[in-house]
Amino acid sequence: MGDSMERYPTRMFGYRSFRHGSIRFALLPFAAVLTAAISCRTHAAEVVAKVGSTEVTVEELRAYVETLSPPDQAALAKDPALLSQTVRVYLARQAVLREAMSTRYDQQVNVKAQLDRIRDQALIELYLDSVSKAPEGYPADSEVQATYEANKAAFEVPRQFRLAQIYVALQKSADKAAEERARKKLDETTKKLKGKAADFAAIARTDSDDKATAAQGGEIGWLTEAQMTAGVRGVATTLAKDGVSEPVKLDDGWHILKLLETRPPGTRPLAEVRDALVVQMRAQRSRESRQAYLAKLLEQNPPAINELALSRVVQKGR
């Protein structure tokens, strides 16, 4: 089965159904039931979806969702569309699994050997995770504070500029006619901007050739000097707040810039970075615990290696 999914929306006993290849799936309304698969601990046997004749329960989907990273789980809880798509992927994979099992594919000698190796590796990783998991309550507030103070340089942010632009496109390879059209548009836009009570955002929405920023009134967002091209940097860093530049000619056309706001250089406060810092500290603690556990295990069970035989491992046909 390919990655694309052919859908035939229908209604079927309260389910929303769709088709992937020759297999029909049916899903109950997602908004409430699938959110329960993430956060609710009741109604575990409630059916959320069907894959052919196989029913998928809240408990099964919850177990699947819990294999995802915490940020991914949080994203799913906030976005029903993303949650719906994730479950569709899960259902498609379950359909593949069912077909593989029906053909006893897992009993083929070479496949069984691969599955055994995969299972062993998965068991190793799960066990190592269990013995190296950072203890509950780590890190304490005092440890977070100490780590923040010791690494303050990592949280420094340079001066930032919140910019908007009106862009008039003109590629280097443009012919004379295209250049004349672009210059005429630039002159008209510049004239509008110099008019009484000119609204930069409104003009950007109608005149800018960068449709993505035009929809936002020309706003580009926050940029550091390092994120700007030399031509833009040389102009943007000299503008006063709400100042509008003369057209800046770059390789792709003209850019008229407006400085909306600036942020001075500084250090991000602990409150702003605390959650990410805790995640990093716990991950580091787990890595250290894992390394210590492996070192102790090898110390208790010293490996004996036949170096001569080892050299033949990568020597094919010898």
pLDDT in tens, 80-96: 888 888 888 888 888 89
Identify residue 64 by its one-letter amino acid code. Answer: Y
* pLDDT at residue 317, rounded to an integer: 53
* pLDDT at residue 203, rounded to an integer: 97
Q: Is residue 83 in a domain?
A: yes
pLDDT at residue 37 is higher than 80: no
Q: Which of these three, 264, 296, 311, is where a domain ends?
A: 264
Q: Please check whether residues 81 and 171 belong to one and the same domain.
A: no
Q: Which of these three, 69, 86, 103, is where a domain ends?
A: 103
**Of the given ranges (22-36, 104-118, 248-262, 300-314), which has the lowest mean pLDDT?**
22-36
Quote the number of domains for the chain: 2
| Domain carrying residue 165 | 159-264
Q: Is residue 166 in a domain?
A: yes
Question: In terms of pLDDT, which residue wins out, 147 or 66?
Answer: 147
* pLDDT at residue 107, rounded to an integer: 95
* pLDDT at residue 58, rounded to an integer: 83
Which is it for the CA torsion 128, 129, 130, 131, positive or negative? positive
pLDDT at residue 15 is higher than 80: no
Q: Is residue 194 in a domain?
A: yes
Domain with 258 in it: what CATH number?
Answer: 3.10.50.40
Token reading at 158 = 């340079």
Q: Is residue 312 in a domain?
A: no
Q: Is residue 295 in a domain?
A: no
pLDDT at residue 189 is higher than 60: yes
Model confidence pTM above 0.85? no
* pLDDT at residue 308, rounded to an integer: 87
Q: Are 220 and 255 in contact (CB under 8 A)?
A: no
pLDDT at residue 306 is higher than 50: yes
Q: Is residue 306 in a domain?
A: no
Write out pLDDT tens, residues 133-187.
Answer: 999 999 999 999 999 999 999 999 999 999 999 999 999 889 999 999 999 999 9
Portion of the chain with pLDDT greater than 70, in percent = 85
pLDDT classification of 290: cutoffs 50, 70, 90: very high
Residue in the structure block whose two tokens are 């949650």: 83
Q: Are 87 and 30 in contact (CB under 8 A)?
A: yes
Q: Is residue 190 in a domain?
A: yes
Q: Which of these three, 229, 244, 264, is where a domain ends?
A: 264
Residue in the structure block whose two tokens are 């919140």: 162
pLDDT classification of 62: cutoffs 50, 70, 90: confident
Q: Are 171 and 253 in contact (CB under 8 A)?
A: yes
Q: Please check whether residues 258 and 165 belong to one and the same domain.
A: yes
* Euclidean distance between CA atoms 48 and 34, whole angstroms: 7
Question: In terms of pLDDT, which residue wins out, 315 or 175?
Answer: 175
Q: Is residue 72 in a domain?
A: yes
